[in-house]
Amino acid sequence: MNIRTLLSQYVSHAMQAAGIPAECPPIIAPSKKAGFGDYQANGAMGAAKAMKAKPRDIAQQIVEQLGSNDDFNQMVSNIDIAGPGFINITLAPEWLSNEISAINQDTNLGIHTDTTETIVVDYSSPNLAKEMHVGHLRSTIIGDAIVRTLEFQGHQVIRQNHVGDWGTQFGMLIAELEEQLQEGESASLALKDLESFYQSSKKHFDESESFADKARDYVVKLQSGDESVLALWQQFREVSLTHSQEIYDALNVTLTPNDIYGESAYNQDLAPLVEELKQQGLATEDQGAQVVFLEEMADKDGNPSPVIIQKQGGGFLYATTDLASLRYRSNTLNADRILYFIDARQSLHMQQVFTVARKAKFVKENVSLEHHAFGTMMGNDGKPFKTRTGGTVKLADLLVEATERAQKLVADKNPELSPSECAEIARKVGIGAVKYADLSKTRTNDYVFNWETMLSFEGNTAPYLQYAYTRIKSIFRKAAEQTSIDVHTLSSSISLQETAELALAIKTLQFSEVIEQTSREAYPHLLCTYLYDLAGIFMRFYEQCPILKEGVSSDTQKSRLQLSLAVANTLHTGLSLLGIETMEKM
RNA sequence: GCGCCCGUAGCUCAGCUGGAUAGAGCAUCCGCCUUCUAAGCGGACGGUCAGAGGUUCGAAUCCUCUCGGGCGCGCCA
């Protein structure tokens, strides 16, 4: 059930019945101010313009038509016209009560999608040559939040972790690994610190001519399938993937080894793909390289935009691999939508690859190709986020620090918790805070990373939402103790009277609208804003509408408990879609 | 030079297909715990929506220009 969709349908029908052209949209939106009803229909003004009539007259006709719709009348308790032609709609308390009861009976909170799609999502995609750092955080957690949301809606989601496990740098890394193995190291020990391993191999490469020659030789052997080199590569890859998986597990990200489909997977496709582009006349030789020139992306002077798909000397580039992956995802995985969560700096590249893929018919015509870009993670100084010494911040270190900081705060706020409870809560709070701080900002902007605001745990933060949830759970425990009420089995009728109750019910029922918009636009911050609003409205309800205190009638208790249950389920589900865990106490 | 993104309160950010008096949090100040967890609630203070034109019943939102900041632009990914 989606209030906005329902009202759009009703008002749309009414408009057509009033003789308004079908092109005129009803424009339904939640009202921003108290006194303007719960929802407003703003379509009368536009319709009046198209029909050269007076807006208020049009609004009046729409309202009259709505009056003959029984379903609408059941849903709405009041409707009036204001200002130049706004139609303000107040929802009926009885209808809201029934809907709250309905979502309490539904494990999916009333969210059911009629047309499900196959959606391929490319996210995280770290380079295996190095350890995961903060630069990978945004793609990983934003992508994961959208994946979870799409799956919740019932779509078939195929995760694609397009890891960087191929290319020239691996010759160097394999040569280094071979040397260290000969010195008696085990692979996992040599690669314990990937970052310093990379540094030492780079140093080796720069300083030793013979080592550099060997590294270059290994690149060739690797690509031609030499068994011993391939075996070394395999070892390196395994250890690095284990590192990544540890991060995913710590971050509560749903990626698993099954989702790995890296650059190396397309190795055999690259030469034929270039050949095909040549045969189609799209790729031409230019300065020894194979280049596709895109007239549709030409600059002002008409110079076409060049995309190099094969280097002088025969090597392939990431544009080639990305084209191969697009073809695979469209034709083999049968995607309806293909989503990429990649840094905004690659916007031009993505646009080029999409354009080439369409021209070459590597993807089906109706597949939706979407680059969902995001900005850079900045430090307090407004420059890209680095350690004090200027190095990249490892994700592993970041997560440890978040948990430690949370541990201190949790122990301080609630000394009565046992050490194990405290540790578990600190983990969920710390990791949740890091993720939420990122997810709650519009992803297209750069994002300023700040421990203080993130872990202050006040305002629009994960702990605020988690706290709201624990408050509700605490009431439920108390209800069971004091009155033997099991909230989950209540089925008595809900009665909404207080302003705080009505506001809370409406906000709770708007969950499906937000889910729909979040997955369509791939903006997790919409869900965050919603959950923060919901938690805030609950906090006000909590202050104003006592449940288990003296003098509250049994009927009111049961009614408010059921409303609280709907809120708790919504908070829990919403946070879990963001990949943030909840707890019973904090 | 060309292209993309951004500019909203002291700070960090919302503002949904153009809608009514531009909203939160932090910070500052003032209230509220013998009553369901005060990691909370209420109130005050705080804005030429970078600037200038334009489109119209109506613009933070759309168009043009200017200023300021970030990023990208054929053989790294």
Residue A35 has pLDDT above 90, yes or no: no
ipTM above 0.90, yes or no: yes
Q: Which nucleotide is nearest to A55 (CA to C1')?
A: B57
Question: Does the CB of A538 fall within 7 Å of any strand B atom?
Answer: no
Instruction: Catalogue the E-assigned strands of A133-267.
Output: 156-160
Instruction: Give residues with Cβ within 8 angstroms of A324, minimum separation 6.
Output: A266, A269, A270, A273
Can you read off the two tokens belonging to residue A583? Answer: 């707890």
Q: pLDDT band for position A452 (50/70/90)?
A: confident
Q: What confidence score (pLDDT) does residue A458 get?
A: 84
Q: How far apart are CA A472 and CA A538, in angstroms?
A: 9
Question: Does the CB of A463 fall within 7 Å of any strand B atom?
Answer: yes
What string of H, E and C letters represents the secondary structure of A92-121?
A: CHHHHHHHHHHHHCCCCCCCCCCCCCEEEE
Residue spans of alpha helices (H) in A225-307: 227-251, 270-279
Determine the distance between A171 (CA) and B61 (C1') in angstroms.
52
Q: Which nucleotide is nearest to A80 (CA to C1')?
A: B20
Determine the distance between A209 (CA) and B4 (C1') in angstroms.
42
Q: What confidence score (pLDDT) does residue A553 get?
A: 94
Residue A442 has pLDDT above 80, yes or no: yes
A502 or A416: which leads in pLDDT: A502
Determine the distance between A33 (CA) and B48 (C1') in angstroms.
25
Pairing verdict, β A447-448 and A377-378: parallel
User: pLDDT (tens digit, 9 = 90+) per residue, A319-369?
Assistant: 999 999 999 999 999 999 999 999 999 999 999 999 999 999 999 999 999
Q: How far apart are CA A214 and CA A175, in angstroms?
A: 7
Determine the distance between A445 (CA) and B50 (C1') in angstroms.
17
Can you read off the two tokens belonging to residue A136? Answer: 């990978």
Residue A455 has pLDDT above 80, yes or no: no
Q: Which nucleotide is nearest to A166 (CA to C1')?
A: B77
Q: What confidence score (pLDDT) does residue A392 get?
A: 86
H-helix or E-strand spanning residue A404: helix A395-413
Lowest mean pLDDT among A387-396, A498-507, A545-554, A561-570: A387-396
Length of chain A: 586
User: pLDDT (tens digit, 9 = 90+) per residue, A69-109?
Assistant: 999 999 999 999 999 999 999 999 999 999 999 999 999 99
In sequence order, the β-bridge partners of residue A294 are A305
Q: What percent of chain A has pLDDT over 70?
A: 100
Q: What confidence score (pLDDT) does residue A70 get?
A: 97
Q: How far apart are CA A332 and CA A180, in angstroms?
A: 40
Q: What confidence score (pLDDT) does residue A189 get?
A: 84
Would you tell me how many other CB atoms lie within 10 Å of the CB of residue A501?
23
Instruction: Give residues with Cβ within 8 angstroms of A14, minimum separation 6.
Output: A62, A63, A65, A66, A69, A72
Q: What confidence score (pLDDT) does residue A281 get?
A: 96
Q: Which of A250, A232, A229 is nearest to A240 (CA)?
A: A232
- Over residues A239-258, the mean pLDDT reads 97
Determine the distance between A534 (CA) and B8 (C1') in angstroms.
24
Residue A183 has pLDDT above 90, yes or no: no
Determine the distance between A4 (CA) and B51 (C1') in angstroms.
38
Report which of residues 203-262 in chain A place their beta carbon less than 7 angstroms from any atom of strand B: none
Q: What confidence score (pLDDT) does residue A33 get?
A: 87
Q: pLDDT band for position A453 (50/70/90)?
A: confident
Residue A435 has pLDDT above 90, yes or no: yes
Q: What confidence score (pLDDT) does residue A322 get?
A: 97
* 3-class secondary-structure state, position A227: helix
Looking at strand B, which nucleotides approach a protein CB closer than 7 A? 2-6, 12-17, 19-21, 24-27, 35-42, 56-58, 70-77
Report which of residues 497-526 in chain A place their beta carbon less than 7 angstroms from any atom of strand B: 517, 525-526
pTM for this model (two decimals) = 0.96
What is the maximal distance between C-alpha atoms in chain A? Answer: 88
Q: Which residue is nearest to nucleotide B17 (CA to C1')?
A: A27
Q: pLDDT band for position A380 (50/70/90)?
A: confident
- Over residues A548-566, the mean pLDDT reads 95
Lowest mean pLDDT among A165-179, A300-314, A444-458: A444-458
Determine the distance between A15 (CA) and B58 (C1') in angstroms.
22
Q: What confidence score (pLDDT) does residue A34 get?
A: 83
Count H helices and E strands in chain A, helices first. 22, 13
Q: How far apart are CA A103 and CA A32, in angstroms?
A: 25
User: pLDDT (tens digit, 9 = 90+) per residue, A268-285?
Assistant: 999 999 999 999 999 999
Determine the distance between A512 (CA) and B16 (C1') in angstroms.
14
Q: pLDDT band for position A303 (50/70/90)?
A: confident
Q: How far apart are CA A578 and CA A525, in angstroms?
A: 10
Q: How far apart are CA A226 and CA A241, in angstroms?
A: 22
Determine the distance between A445 (CA) and B11 (C1') in angstroms.
17
Tokens 């969920």 found at = A428
Q: Left if phi > 0, otherwise alpha if psi is -120 to 50, otherwise beta: which for A97?
A: alpha
Q: How far apart are CA A324 and CA A328, in angstroms?
A: 6
Q: pLDDT band for position A168 (50/70/90)?
A: confident
User: pLDDT (tens digit, 9 = 90+) per residue, A259-270?
Assistant: 999 999 999 999
Q: Which nucleotide is nearest to A448 (CA to C1')?
A: B12
DSSP assignment, residue A122? Answer: E
Residue A244 has pLDDT above 90, yes or no: yes
Q: What confidence score (pLDDT) does residue A457 get?
A: 76
What string of H, E and C letters represents the secondary structure of A427-469?
A: HHHHHHHHHHHHHCCCCCCCEECCHHHHHCCCCCCHHHHHHHH
Question: Does the CB of A29 fall within 7 Å of any strand B atom?
Answer: yes
Q: What confidence score (pLDDT) does residue A511 get?
A: 97
Question: Does the CB of A86 fall within 7 Å of any strand B atom?
Answer: yes
Question: Does the CB of A52 fall within 7 Å of any strand B atom?
Answer: no
H-helix or E-strand spanning residue A504: helix A499-509
In sequence order, the β-bridge partners of residue A338 are A120, A369
Residue A182 has pLDDT above 80, yes or no: yes
Determine the distance between A453 (CA) and B25 (C1') in angstroms.
9
Q: Which residue is nearest to nucleotide B23 (CA to C1')?
A: A32
Q: What confidence score (pLDDT) does residue A459 get?
A: 87
Instruction: Catalogue the E-assigned strands of A85-206.
Output: 86-91, 118-122, 156-160
User: pLDDT (tens digit, 9 = 90+) per residue, A139-154?
Assistant: 999 999 999 999 999 9
Q: Which nucleotide is nearest to A375 (CA to C1')?
A: B5
Q: How far apart are CA A403 and CA A388, in angstroms?
A: 20
Question: Does the CB of A314 fall within 7 Å of any strand B atom?
Answer: no
Q: Which nucleotide is nearest to A525 (CA to C1')?
A: B14
Q: What confidence score (pLDDT) does residue A371 get?
A: 96
Residue A487 has pLDDT above 80, yes or no: yes
Determine the distance between A19 (CA) and B56 (C1') in angstroms.
24
- Over residues A525-538, the mean pLDDT reads 97
Q: Which nucleotide is nearest to A316 (CA to C1')?
A: B75
Question: Does the CB of A413 fall within 7 Å of any strand B atom?
Answer: yes
Report which of residues 107-166 in chain A place their beta carbon less than 7 angstroms from any atom of strand B: 127, 164
- Over residues A387-409, the mean pLDDT reads 90
Question: Does the CB of A272 fall within 7 Å of any strand B atom?
Answer: no
Residue A188 has pLDDT above 90, yes or no: no
Determine the distance between A269 (CA) and B6 (C1') in angstroms.
39
